Chain A
Amino acid sequence: MSTQQPIKLDFGVVHYDLMLPPIIKRNYGKWKYHEIIKPGILKHVSETGEEFYTVRAGAPKFASVDTVRKLCDLADKYCDGYLRFTSRHNIEFLISKKENIDGLIADLKKMGLPVGGTGNSMASIIQCTAWMHCHTAATDAAGIGKSVYDGLFEYFQRMDLPAKLKIAISGCLNMCGAVHCSDIAILGVHRVPPKVIDEIVSKACEIPSLIAVCPTYAIKPNPKAKSITIDPDKCMYCGICYGMCPGVPLADPKNDGVSIWVGGKVSSTRSGPMFSRLVVPYLPNNPPRWPEVVDVVKKIVNVWVDGAKKDERMGEWIERIGWGRFFKITGIPFTDKHIDDYVFAIPSMSTGAQVRL
């Protein structure tokens, strides 16, 4: 048992000056243009005339220190000791000598790390920790991620998709994995209300805030038990109550599963940012490889590849052809779950008689 105290507090973040390669410092803010030489390899050219290369590799988001040290070995050998990670869990090797590219790629291949994820390819999949390390998850993210990656592997290393393909996975409605704005999003869902454990609620939870936090007012006080009750007709299984109170768990192996959403994007390009929209309300949890999920994802990618014009992201393509046609050509059944009946429902209803039949 340690009785040590922290040696200092609130010292903040290490300055990036210590982390940047000299070529970046020389050309900071002076970059003129870039090219993607081939999938995974970027060339940046500065106004000073200097050229700088990046090799992007996919990696397991969850990595052992052994693997991270091997990445450091490669960066020492080929990149003067500099590398970075991207917001999508890629590793980027920062190369100031062009002749180092081929050797690095060969070594990455030996390590089993794919090079790609640039331009019109499948980008690395955003994932939360889910079953690896989270109490609210209704499904796993890393396991589904690995299965979808394997199913779409070639698209990480090619750039002939109509546009970028960004996939995200979140284990529950907290959406830590950015599923609300991805081309294809896989979201773990609960389908039954939380079980109220009075002994825990009465001891560990602040009841007024628990009642207030429920978006549908499904939680009512239960003064006798110093606990709460949940109205099953009002609960829509969002889990926000479990986020603040351990006495209302909602994991249920029989009913938990996965929903699939499509058509979201973040960047302001063309159509602007868009939300992902529901296409499959429920698929069962079928670990370890979730074949039903992988099949639907592959099907959606295939119809998009066949139908989209160049530079059309998933959502832009569907908005052009109409959601009715999207459901028709994918064969995914359209149900009452797809029609929004929550708070901002009205703008998503079709008005006038513009109907695609």
Chain B
Amino acid sequence: MAEKSETPILDELEKGPWPSHVTELKKTGYKGLLALYEQIYQDKMTHWAHGGMVGVPGYDAGVIGRVSDRPDILKDAHTFRIIEPAAWFYKTEYLRKICDTWEKYGSGLMNLHGATGDLQLIGIKTENMVPCFNEFAQIGFDLGGSAGDIRTMSCCVGPARCEFSCIDTLAIYQELTMSYLDEMHRPRFPYKFKIKISGCPNDGVAATARSDLAIIGTWRDSIRIDQEEVRKYASAGLNINDVCAKCPTEALEWNGTELKLNADDCVRCMHCINKMPKALRPGIDKGATILIGGRARGRYGAFLAWVLVPFMKVNPPYTELKDLIKKIVEWWDENGRTKERVGETIYRFGMGRFLRAVGLPAVPQQIIRPRANPFWFYWPGEVK
């Protein structure tokens, strides 16, 4: 006689072609979590509850407390947040050690990866935290951020494997992460502060949408065009006129033999480069556009990040970038309310006041069009 399944509802999610998370959950042998998940499906409501304060001594972040409201099924299953290696590159010997440690002290269930970027390890008991942390420490993996702090960052594949990348995303990620470990491990800010680094305006890590401070690679000069390669795309069947028609500023013209670009009209959107990567490349005077205030949800709804610095050179030792981040975070720390992300603080105070506070000029690239209402203030001393 076939044994009756303990998870008849979840078993339905093992059917179908896509690899099943329920199968993975079963493979861990983590019966409590599986049973609680089944109960949640049966009741159509979560049984997870606020987790309270748990963590590794010396840190106030990096572990997310999770307890359930059905301790009869599973009492607690905290999350370990590990800072991911830049651009999520792993050598298997490290990944295997992570697996071994996580199997020894935790549930064996991994979340690859969390929304902010961290390697999230789901399900650890309070008493296992320090020994688990110490084993991770031995192979060099530290805890990431949580609560009101500078969060774990993320960056795209960048120059490691992409011809579009205008900045060294991995090096910037490494430098900024190592610079803000205290701010990451000991929350003291109004709310979270996320930094994401994308190598080009394709924005592979969704910095515009998902980070308080977005660093997006771009170039100041003109797109480089290899006319011979453009002709090859044309003879291979690519409709170059279609590519030109999709240019948002009509900066491209194709006469059948030559592609002309009006570089002054180009807004660096990447469409033509994406369509013809062999023929078109970003310019050579490279840097980044810095944007501020992106976030999901929020008090006023979601914000896409706003252009703050249209172009900044971003090279070691990254002094200009780090000075700017310091000024922004200090101003927000002083003026932000509880649970207010930096974009919301800026919205509440006005971009003009924010720009003055961090010492940045107002420039037309920050807006789509100027204001249409006559209501503004003058600063003390501006009107004599």
Answer yes or no: A65 CB below 8 A from chain B CBs. Answer: yes
Chain B CB within 10 Å — which of A87, A94, A145 has the most? A87
**Stretch with Cβ within 8 A of A (4 or more), from B41-49, B322-330, B352-360, B376-384:** B41-49
Q: Which of B9-34 contact A (CB under 8 A)?
A: 9-10, 12-13, 15-25, 27-28, 33
- Do A275 and B95 touch (CB < 8 A)? no
Report the stretch among A245-253, A295-303, A325-333 that lies at the interface.
Answer: A245-253
Contact A275 B44 (CB under 8 A): no
Shortest Cβ distance from A321 into chain B, in angstroms?
A: 16
Among the listed stretches A6-14, A98-106, A223-231, A349-357, which one makes contact with chain B, having 4 or more residues with CB under 8 Å of it? A6-14
Partner of B270, one of A170, A179, A267: A267
How many chain B residues sit at the interface, stated as a range, is 35 or more
Chain A residues within an 8 Å CB radius of B317: none
Is A68 engaged at the interface, CB distance under 8 Å to the other chain? Answer: yes
Question: Is B154 close to A, CB under 8 A?
Answer: yes
CA distance A271 to B108 in the complex (A): 43
The answer on a CB contact under 8 Å between B13 and A6 is no
Pick the residue among B10, B19, B113 that contacts A85 (CB under 8 A).
B113
Asked whether B146 is an interface residue with its Cβ less than 8 Å from the other chain, the reply is: no
Q: Does B219 contact A (CB under 8 A)?
A: no
- A150: interface (CB < 8 Å): yes
When the two chains form their complex, are residues B248 and A135 in contact, meaning their CB atoms are under 8 A apart?
A: no
The answer to whether B161 touches A16 (Cβ under 8 A) is: no
Contact digits for A56-92, partner B, Cβ 8 Å, 1 yes 0 no = 0011111111111101100110000111111101010
User: Does the CB pair A146–B140 fall under 8 Å?
Assistant: no
Candidates A20, A62, A272; contact of B269 at CB < 8 Å:
A272
By the criterion CB–CB under 8 Å, are A13 and B178 in contact? yes
B37 and A131 form a contact (CB under 8 A):
yes
Known: A133-B79, A153-B17. A213 touches B339 (CB 8 A): yes
The answer, yes or no, to whether B150 is at the interface (CB within 8 Å) is no
CA A240 to CA B338, docked complex, whole Å: 11
Most buried by A among B16, B50, B84, B156: B50
The one of A54, A131, A150, A244 that contacts B16, using a Cβ cutoff of 8 Å? A150
Interface of B is mostly: mixed
Judged by a CB distance under 8 angstroms, whether B263 is at the interface is no
Residues B88 and A180 in contact, CB atoms below 8 Å apart: no
Which residues of chain A have C-beta atoms less than 8 A from B267's C-beta? 268
Majority SS at the chain A contact face: loop
A266–B19 touching, CB < 8 Å = no
Q: Is B174's CB under 8 angstroms from A13's CB?
A: yes
Complex contact B91–A82 (CB within 8 A): yes
Least distance between A61 CB and chain B CB atoms (Å): 6
- Asked if A177 is at the interface (CB within 8 A of a chain B CB), the reply is yes
Question: CA of A61 to CA of B159 in the docked complex: distance in angstroms?
Answer: 26
Contact A133 B202 (CB under 8 A): no
Within 8 Å CB of B102, what residues of A? 65
User: Does B131 belong to the interface (CB within 8 Å)?
Assistant: yes
Q: Does A48 contact B (CB under 8 A)?
A: no
Residues of A within 8 A of B87 (CB): 16, 84
Is the beta-carbon distance between B19 and A112 smaller than 8 angstroms? yes
- A52, A140, A177, A285 interface centre (most CB from chain B within 10 Å): A140
* In the complex, chain A residues whose CB is within 8 Å of the CB of B94: 14, 18-19
23 example contacts (A-B, Cβ-Cβ < 8 A) are as follows A6-B56, A7-B137, A7-B138, A9-B58, A14-B85, A18-B91, A18-B94, A18-B140, A20-B160, A34-B162, A81-B92, A82-B89, A87-B156, A87-B205, A87-B206, A129-B120, A131-B46, A244-B339, A268-B269, A269-B269, A275-B302, A289-B13, A311-B242
Binding site for B on A (CB under 8 A): 1-2, 4-16, 18-20, 24, 28-29, 31-35, 44, 52, 54, 58-69, 71-72, 75-76, 81-87, 89, 91, 94, 112-114, 126, 128-137, 140, 142-143, 145-147, 149-150, 153, 170, 173-181, 204, 209, 212-213, 215, 238, 240, 243-244, 246, 251-253, 256, 266-273, 275, 285, 287-289, 310-311, 342-344
